[in-house]
Each structure stands twice: as C-alpha cells, then as structure tokens.
C-alpha cells in the first residue's frame, strides 16, 4: 500500500466525517431497525472510492495505507459499524487477487472491484468449519484441462445476497497431508450452479446481508484459480487475515469511541439530585475506564496498522489489537447503556445499536479465544529461552 500525504489524508477524513454527519447518522435507525440493504449509502460509498480504498492506484483504487484505512473504519463504526462490513469484506476479495493473483487476473478484476462495479467478499466459513479452516469440505474437481467443478456450501458469508463475486476457499486435494496443502482459492462470480440460500437473521450487524451460498456442479475456468497454482489457498487466506483483523480492531475502536461519546453527552445532560450524573462518582469512574479503554484500543490498532504498512509480520500485533479492541467495544457499549439507564434499552437511542453490534467484533476474523492463542504462541517464539 502507498503512503498518503498528510494534507490529503486530512482532507479525505474530513470528507468521511461530513458524509457520516449528513448522510449516515440521520438514516441509520431507518435502515438498521428494518434490517434493510442501504442501497443509497452503498452508491455514495462507491462514489467516494471506498470499494477501492486499499486497491493500488495502478488498478484504479485509492491505495490507502492500512493506518488511513483503519481511521476511516473507526470513524464510520462509531456511528454505524455494519456498513464497514460492506466494503471491508469486498476489499478482502480484492486483496487476495492483488497480493496473489497473476497479472492478467489483476488487470481483469481489480479495476472492476475498485469502482464497485463488481462487489463481493471472502467465503471461508462452512456449516462445520469456522475457526478450523482446514476442516472445510467444499471440493473443486478438475473438469478436463479447462476448468473445475465446485460442490459444497458456505455459510455466514457477508455480502452473500447483494454481492456478485467471492474469493472462495475449497479443497482441490481432499486427501492431502498436511491438509492445508490441498486447499485453493478461487474467484467465483455468481452464475449457473451458484445459488444463494437463506438470509441469516442476526442480533445486530443489520442491513449487511449474511447468507448461505450453495454450489451444485458449479463450473469455472481454470484461470479463476487465484495465482493459477493449486494448493496455495490456505497461505493466501492467512496472508489477508492480518489486514482483516486490523479492520475488525478498527471497528471495535469505533464502537468503543462511539459508546463513550454517547455516554459523555448523556452524562452531562441527564441530572439527578440536582446535578449532571457525570458529576456523581459512580458515573465518573465508568467514564474514566471507558475513555482509557477506547484510547488503548486505538493505539494498539494504529500500532498494528503501522507495522503492516512497513511490510513486516504483524499477526501478533493484529491479534492483540483485534482482541483488546473488540473487548473494549463490548465493555464500553454495556457501560454506556447502563449510564443511559432505561433510555439505553430503548430503540430511540443509538446506544442500543452499538450494544447489539459489539459482540460481532469478538467473533469475526477469528474468535478472541483463538487470538489469545496466536498472541501467546508468537510471543513465546519471539522470546525464546536463551
């Protein structure tokens, strides 16, 4: 990813702030409560170039560094986290093609991804395989010399209904040992043999569709295999998870900061016993903890993004950021709701949406239990006994 001039970054972030204030904030309840696809907002995101945010300018994208991209995600998520999933899942598809695809694949697909003409996501999870990706069962079999036939089911796929193309992890050699050497990643546009199953209803994360994807004798040309070499899929997916975890960390920061902002405002307006509730020690202690959590989450996330931008390995730092920021989102949303009292439980107030959205960040892009294992493993490898 490219560096960005500070003045250009400031201008971009100011544009994002104005858009959130004028277009997103006034309509978020309307879309969220109806769980309705925000078509108008998606078109605005296309116009701002968000679907090409991290794609290289060579292919028509903005080429933003991870740090700037994280700042955008934080700002949007502080008001409405769900819509960041619409462009982030899409950008994971684009990252797989740009990082591991052939030049011909990049030239063909990336310009269309960058404009949002083709939108989609990353399809990894299956009914019996989530965190343990090596347990997937979807299989791609050779169809002569010219292509593959894919059969199987994916589930919990973001943009599954509204998207039109996905990076799909499959088994090309189901009996390979070790298992990961038999996995490959394909570019799979919607066409005959590709059906969308049921829309999955969720506690939060509304308006972005999560769906089952069903493949029955889905035929695809060989040049849709990313990199056109079998057996590289697991490594290709792992190569994108660091940025994915930085994104989820940024979402957590946004929710934590949004919950803090709402609590701060309410604590200065709401009065009990003749003074604002923020002047009561019990509430002040909560706000002090919330402010510290949000700040620490932001710094961890930007630290991971900076390491990613330098091209260094950051699975430990991205894991730390994702783990801490998502837990900060959960804690801050709960504390903000408690500060709001009964009003926090009302759908008229924004805090109930942040409260519903926060748990997703603890699950998405690898559970927090898995993050702690990754952190511990990497920490010990980097600090061996001498």
pLDDT at res. 4:
82
Cβ atoms 78, 17 nearer than 8 A: no
Please report how the helices 233-269 and 82-100 are oriented relative to each other, as an axis angle in degrees rounded to 10: 150
Contacts of 366 (CB under 8 A, 6+ apart): 131, 241, 245, 319, 322, 374
Find residue 152's DSSP bridge partners: 215
Domains and CATH numbers, the chain: 6-115 (1.10.540.10), 121-232 (2.40.110.10), 235-380 (1.20.140.10)
Which one of 103, 331, 365, 369 is the catalytic residue? 365
Question: Which pair of tokens denotes residue 382?
Answer: 């980097």
Listed residue (50, 3, 61) closest to 306, CA to CA: 3
pLDDT at res. 2:
65
CA distance 134 to 92: 19
Q: Which helix (H) or strand (E) holds 149?
A: strand 147-158
Contacts of 274 (CB under 8 A, 6+ apart): none
Q: Classify 187 as helix, strand or coil.
A: strand
pLDDT at res. 386:
80
pLDDT at res. 131:
78
- How many of the other CB atoms lie within 10 Å of CB of 300? 22
- How many of the other CB atoms lie within 10 Å of CB of 279? 14
365 is catalytic: yes
Question: Which pair of tokens denotes residue 10?
Answer: 């400031």
CA distance 376 to 368: 12
Question: Which pair of tokens denotes residue 386?
Answer: 């001498």
CA distance 100 to 218: 23
pTM of the model: 0.95
pLDDT at res. 1:
54
Question: Which pair of tokens denotes residue 11?
Answer: 């201008």
Contacts of 79 (CB under 8 A, 6+ apart): 20, 24, 25, 28, 254, 258, 350
Contacts of 111 (CB under 8 A, 6+ apart): 59, 60
Q: Which helix (H) or strand (E) holds 245?
A: helix 233-269
- How many of the other CB atoms lie within 10 Å of CB of 201? 8
Q: What is the DSSP letter of 201?
A: P
Average pLDDT, 10 consecutive residues per value, the chain (386 residues): 82 97 97 97 97 97 97 98 96 96 98 97 90 90 91 96 97 94 97 95 95 96 96 90 92 98 98 96 98 98 97 94 98 98 95 98 92 94 92
Contacts of 35 (CB under 8 A, 6+ apart): 201, 206, 207
Cβ atoms 254, 88 nearer than 8 A: no
Cβ atoms 189, 164 nearer than 8 A: yes
pLDDT at res. 288:
98
């Amino acid at each position: 990813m490219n560096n960005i001039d500070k003045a250009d970054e400031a201008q971009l972030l100011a544009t994002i702030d104005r858009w959130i204030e004028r277009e997103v904030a006034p309509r978020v309840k309307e879309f969220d409560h109806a769980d309705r696809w925000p078509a108008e907002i998606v078109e605005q995101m296309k116009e701002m170039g968000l679907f090409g945010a991290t794609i290289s300018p060579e292919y028509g994208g903005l080429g933003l560094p991870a740090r700037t991209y994280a700042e955008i995600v934080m700002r949007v998520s502080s008001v409405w986290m769900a819509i960041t999933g619409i462009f982030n899942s899409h950008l994971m598809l684009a990252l797989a093609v740009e990082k591991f695809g052939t030049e011909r694949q990049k030239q063909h697909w990336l310009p269309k991804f960058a404009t949002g003409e083709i939108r989609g996501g990353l399809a990894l999870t299956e009914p019996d395989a989530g965190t343990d990706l090596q347990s997937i069962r979807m299989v791609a079999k050779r169809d002569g010399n010219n292509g593959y036939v894919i059969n199987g089911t994916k589930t919990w796929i973001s943009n599954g209904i509204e998207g039109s193309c996905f990076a799909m992890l499959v088994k090309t050699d189901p009996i390979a040992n070790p298992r990961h050497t038999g996995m490959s990643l394909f570019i799979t546009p919607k066409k005959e043999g590709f059906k969308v199953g049921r829309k999955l209803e969720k506690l939060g994360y509304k308006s972005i569709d999560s769906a089952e994807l069903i493949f029955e004798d889905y035929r695809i040309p060989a040049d849709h295999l990313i990199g056109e070499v079998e057996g590289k899929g697991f490594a290709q997916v792992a190569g994108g998870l660091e940025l994915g975890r930085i994104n989820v960390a940024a979402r957590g920061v946004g929710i934590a900061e949004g919950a803090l902002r709402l609590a701060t405002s309410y604590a200065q307006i709401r009065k009990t016993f003749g003074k604002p509730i923020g002047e009561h020690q019990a509430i002040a202690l909560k706000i002090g903890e919330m402010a510290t959590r949000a700040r620490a989450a932001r710094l961890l996330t930007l630290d991971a993004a900076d390491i990613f931008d330098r091209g260094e390995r950051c699975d430990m730092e991205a894991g730390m950021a994702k783990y801490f920021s998502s837990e900060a989102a959960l804690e801050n949303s709960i504390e903000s709701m408690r500060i709001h009292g009964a009003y926090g439980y009302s759908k008229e107030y924004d805090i109930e949406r942040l409260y519903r959205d926060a748990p997703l960040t603890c699950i998405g892009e690898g559970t927090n239990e898995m993050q702690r294992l990754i952190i511990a493993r990497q920490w010990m490898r980097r600090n061996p006994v001498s």
